[in-house]
């Protein structure tokens, strides 16, 4: 592994690979590695027997777990004990400088390591089949136990039934407990149990919206977890990771010895994701110091405990792309869980989501215990999930009568894109491909200052996809436009209700200065008007068109009267497009003007 030291800051560092997609610590090799090994020290010092870390996906949970496995495990290879000296992976890292108390723990324990991240089939039977395969593979990783002189005949028969996939479902509920016992008998040492993405089977069951599937998975997972983690005399430590903490009333019923570390806690806050210092070091390492501001805007903003954290996946992808800011994390996997939550929210919470796009905040009581069925009707449960999943951040919190009250906000520009998409989806009740094509047509027309084509595209969207009842006020059309723009175009800072000139403009689009085409992109101002039509106007298309033409022209004139373009002029835009847009129900009108600026 190559560490970020000043000695390596030269042209050759660009040849150092990024660890994209590498989840197994021992496979890091000569890739760039941000040293998180002091997690080992903190776990040892804590004295905690069982701990659950809840963090968003792709924030380094699996890599942390395989690092712990490499550190603590008595080495094995292809099912047999190995003579490999695994301390070689750590001798140059921080943990090895902490003294004998910690180095003596290296390679000392038998380890059970499972990951349920791939459990995502559409039925209980298929998921149980996949979980049996995962557990069976872990048994096979300890194949040497089949011939161990420390196991009796009954032990070996049970071992073989799991390893060979012939056991009954009820046997698998005892499988991890029994494996820890077998390992203790053979090694004379209690086992460390590592379970990565423990909550994925439960999340999958809830996403299918099958109550029987969900209830059966809860029963199975409860038995599996409680058997191995509660009063297990063969357990040295249990460490779990997941996105959420499933409520004690469901999966952790009766399991009182587990300590949960969430994104609201401070003790282990620096070990998942990149801190400011780690991010600065990485950018410097790759010669991208000039990108720090853009990286902060797009990928910073998470707050774990009291620590500001950058999204590690997005930062690595940003560096790999040589500094192109895109929503990498949002696009890494299916956002079905969050999509379902946002789809089920009520009108009041929908208004909050719309305000988030404009930098607004919301206060909510956060419960770190998730009961999935409550997400369908409990707004605060939904906010709790969005926070723990990384789609919101807590900028302030206080404890009131034992409850956590958080002020919530969107973390960064990357996350704004998903909220914009959701706002658009609330209006575009149609096939997604049609919506995307229409949005792209609108963007193309706007960048060409083609008000006629913009109007045609908006009219098509309104007629074919939008619900009349979703668009009743000016702010509805503003949020619709904001979502349409922010979800479809990059290279711009897009703001709504921004102070400019002598007032607030509805939508301002300022080219990002570090975008390759920034000098060629126009600054854009859009002013919106809404007309509440009476019955006579609704039945007379020509009259409606005349009314909307007048309103759109007034909106365009307002841009000049209120000097809304002043900020864009000060920002150095060489050209500014001004658009007045008026709406009434599913009718739209757009007028435009362009101004060239001499800098």
pLDDT band at 8 (very low <50, low <70, confident <90, very high): very low
Statement to judge: residues 386 and 481 lie in one domain? no
pLDDT of residue 273 exceeding 90, the answer is yes
Evaluate whether residue 314 is within a structural domain.
Answer: no
pLDDT band at 175 (very low <50, low <70, confident <90, very high): very high
Q: What is the pLDDT of residues 404-422, one digit of tens each?
A: 999 999 999 888 877 766 6
Evaluate whether residue 330 is within a structural domain.
Answer: no
Statement to judge: residues 433 and 382 lie in one domain? no
How many Cβ atoms are within 10 Å of 377's Cβ, its own excluded?
A: 11
Task: Find the mean pLDDT for residues 3-27.
Answer: 70
Evaluate whether residue 61 is within a structural domain.
Answer: yes
φ, ψ (nearest 5 deg) of residue 102? -100, -40
* Domain boundary, last residue among 413, 437, 456: 413
Q: What is the pLDDT of residues 488-528, one digit of tens each?
A: 666 788 888 888 888 999 999 988 776 555 667 889 999 99
Statement to judge: residues 105 and 165 lie in one domain? yes
Cα 108 to Cα 72: distance, rounded to the nearest angstrom: 6
Percent of the residues in the chain that have a pLDDT greater than 70, as a whole number: 85
Q: What rounded mean pLDDT belongs to the chain?
A: 86
Evaluate whether residue 110 is within a structural domain.
Answer: yes
Statement to judge: residues 386 and 436 lie in one domain? no
Statement to judge: residues 409 and 439 lie in one domain? no
Task: Find the mean pLDDT for residues 35-59.
Answer: 95
Cα 279 to Cα 310: distance, rounded to the nearest angstrom: 7
Helix axes 474-486, 413-427, angle to 10 degrees: 130
pLDDT of residue 285 exceeding 80, the answer is yes
Of the listed ranges 28-42, 384-398, 416-430, 565-579, the least confidently predicted one is 416-430
Look at residue 346 in the predicted model and tell me its pLDDT. Answer: 57
Look at residue 322 in the predicted model and tell me its pLDDT. Answer: 87
- The set of residues, in sequence order, having a beta carbon less than 8 Å from that of 456 and lying 6+ positions away, is none
Look at residue 475 in the predicted model and tell me its pLDDT. Answer: 83
Q: What is the pLDDT of residues 335-358, one digit of tens each?
A: 666 666 666 665 556 567 666 766
Statement to judge: residues 403 and 456 lie in one domain? no
Look at residue 252 in the predicted model and tell me its pLDDT. Answer: 74
- The set of residues, in sequence order, having a beta carbon less than 8 Å from that of 345 and lying 6+ positions away, is 353, 379, 382
Confirm if 307 and 338 have CB atoms less than 8 A apart: no
Task: Find the mean pLDDT for residues 530-541.
Answer: 83
Statement to judge: residues 554 and 474 lie in one domain? yes
Which residues span the domain enclosing 377? 336-413
- The set of residues, in sequence order, having a beta carbon less than 8 Å from that of 414 and lying 6+ positions away, is 298, 299, 311, 314, 327, 328, 329, 330
Look at residue 512 in the predicted model and tell me its pLDDT. Answer: 78
Strands (DSSP E) found in 204-306: 235-242, 245-246, 258-261, 302-304
Evaluate whether residue 503 is within a structural domain.
Answer: yes
Look at residue 465 in the predicted model and tell me its pLDDT. Answer: 63
Give me the number of domains the chain comprises: 3
Confirm if 577 and 588 have CB atoms less than 8 A apart: no
Cα 437 to Cα 444: distance, rounded to the nearest angstrom: 11
Evaluate whether residue 121 is within a structural domain.
Answer: yes
Task: Find the mean pLDDT for residues 373-393.
Answer: 81
Task: Find the mean pLDDT for residues 113-129.
Answer: 94
Look at residue 383 in the predicted model and tell me its pLDDT. Answer: 85
Statement to judge: residues 518 and 382 lie in one domain? no
pLDDT band at 330 (very low <50, low <70, confident <90, very high): confident
Statement to judge: residues 114 and 51 lie in one domain? yes
Look at residue 6 in the predicted model and tell me its pLDDT. Answer: 46
Statement to judge: residues 341 and 257 lie in one domain? no
pLDDT of residue 103 exceeding 70, the answer is yes
Confirm if 461 and 438 have CB atoms less than 8 A apart: yes
Cα 115 to Cα 242: distance, rounded to the nearest angstrom: 10
Look at residue 501 in the predicted model and tell me its pLDDT. Answer: 85
pLDDT of residue 7 exceeding 50, the answer is no
202 is written with which tokens?
A: 């439960």
Q: What is the pLDDT of residues 373-382, one digit of tens each?
A: 777 666 678 8
Q: What is the pLDDT of residues 184-204, one digit of tens each?
A: 999 999 999 999 999 999 988
Look at residue 262 in the predicted model and tell me its pLDDT. Answer: 94
Look at residue 420 in the predicted model and tell me its pLDDT. Answer: 67
* Domain boundary, last residue among 380, 413, 446: 413
Statement to judge: residues 478 and 404 lie in one domain? no
Evaluate whether residue 58 is within a structural domain.
Answer: yes
* Domain boundary, last residue among 241, 261, 281: 261
Evaluate whether residue 13 is within a structural domain.
Answer: no
Statement to judge: residues 394 and 526 lie in one domain? no
Q: What is the pLDDT of residues 429-467, one digit of tens each?
A: 544 555 566 777 888 889 889 999 999 988 888 877 665
């Amino acid at each position: 592994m190559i560490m970020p030291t000043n000695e390596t800051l030269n042209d050759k560092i660009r040849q150092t690979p990024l660890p994209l997609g590498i989840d197994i610590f021992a496979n890091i090799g000569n890739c760039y590695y941000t040293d998180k090994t002091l997690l080992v020290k903190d776990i040892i010092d804590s004295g905690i027997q069982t701990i659950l870390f809840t963090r968003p996906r792709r924030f380094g949970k699996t890599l942390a777990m395989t690092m712990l496995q490499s550190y603590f495990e008595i080495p094995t290879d292809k099912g047999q004990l190995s003579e490999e000296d695994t301390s070689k992976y750590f001798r140059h890292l921080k943990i090895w400088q902490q003294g004998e108390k910690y180095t003596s723990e290296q390679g000392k324990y038998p380890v059970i390591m499972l990951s349920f991240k791939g459990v995502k089939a559409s039925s209980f039977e298929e998921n149980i089949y996949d979980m049996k395969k995962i557990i069976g593979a872990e048994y096979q990783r300890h194949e040497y136990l089949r011939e161990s002189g420390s196991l009796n005949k009954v032990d070996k028969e049970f071992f073989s039934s799991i390893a060979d996939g012939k056991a009954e479902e009820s046997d698998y509920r005892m499988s991890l407990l029994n494996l820890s016992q077998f390992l203790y008998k053979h090694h004379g040492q209690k086992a460390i149990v590592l379970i990565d993405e423990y909550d994925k089977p439960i999340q999958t069951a809830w996403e299918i919206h099958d109550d029987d599937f969900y209830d059966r998975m809860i029963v199975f997972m409860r038995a599996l977890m409680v058997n191995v983690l509660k009063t297990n005399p063969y357990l040295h430590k249990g460490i779990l990771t997941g996105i959420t903490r499933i409520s004690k009333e469901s999966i952790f019923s009766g399991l009182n010895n587990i300590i949960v570390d969430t994104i609201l806690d401070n003790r282990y806050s620096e070990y998942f994701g990149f801190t400011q210092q780690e991010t600065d070091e990485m950018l410097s390492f790759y010669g991208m110091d000039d990108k720090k501001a853009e990286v902060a805007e797009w990928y910073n903003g998470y707050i774990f405990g009291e620590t500001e954290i950058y999204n590690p996946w997005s930062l690595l992808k940003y560096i790999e792309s040589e500094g192109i800011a895109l929503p990498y994390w949002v696009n890494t996997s299916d956002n079905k869980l969050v999509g379902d939550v946002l789809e089920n929210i009520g009108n009041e919470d929908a208004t909050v989501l719309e305000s988030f796009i404009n930098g607004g905040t919301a206060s909510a009581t956060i419960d770190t215990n998730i009961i999935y069925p409550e997400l369908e009707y409990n707004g605060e449960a939904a906010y709790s999930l969005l926070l723990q999943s990384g789609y919101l951040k807590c900028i302030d919190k206080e404890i009131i009568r034992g409850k956590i009250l958080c002020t919530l906000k969107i973390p960064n520009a990357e996350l704004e894109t998903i909220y914009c998409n959701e706002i658009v989806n609330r209006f575009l009740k149609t096939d997604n491909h049609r919506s995307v094509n229409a949005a792209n047509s609108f963007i193309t027309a706007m960048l060409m200052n083609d008000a006629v084509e913009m109007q045609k595209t908006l009219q098509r969207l309104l007629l074919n996809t939008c619900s009349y009842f979703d668009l009743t006020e000016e702010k509805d059309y503003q949020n619709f436009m904001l979502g349409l723009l922010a979800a479809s175009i990059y290279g711009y800072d897009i703001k709504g209700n921004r102070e400019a000139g002598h007032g607030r403009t509805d939508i301002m689009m300022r080219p990002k200065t570090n975008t390759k085409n920034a000098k060629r992109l126009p600054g854009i101002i859009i002013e919106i008007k809404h007309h509440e039509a009476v019955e006579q106007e609704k039945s007379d298309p020509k009259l409606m068109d005349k009314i909307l033409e007048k309103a759109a022209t007034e909106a365009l004139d307002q841009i000049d009267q209120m000097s809304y373009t002043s900020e864009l002029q000060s920002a150095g835009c060489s050209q500014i497009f001004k658009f007045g847009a008026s709406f009434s129900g599913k009718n739209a009108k757009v007028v435009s003007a362009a101004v060239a600026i001499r800098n």
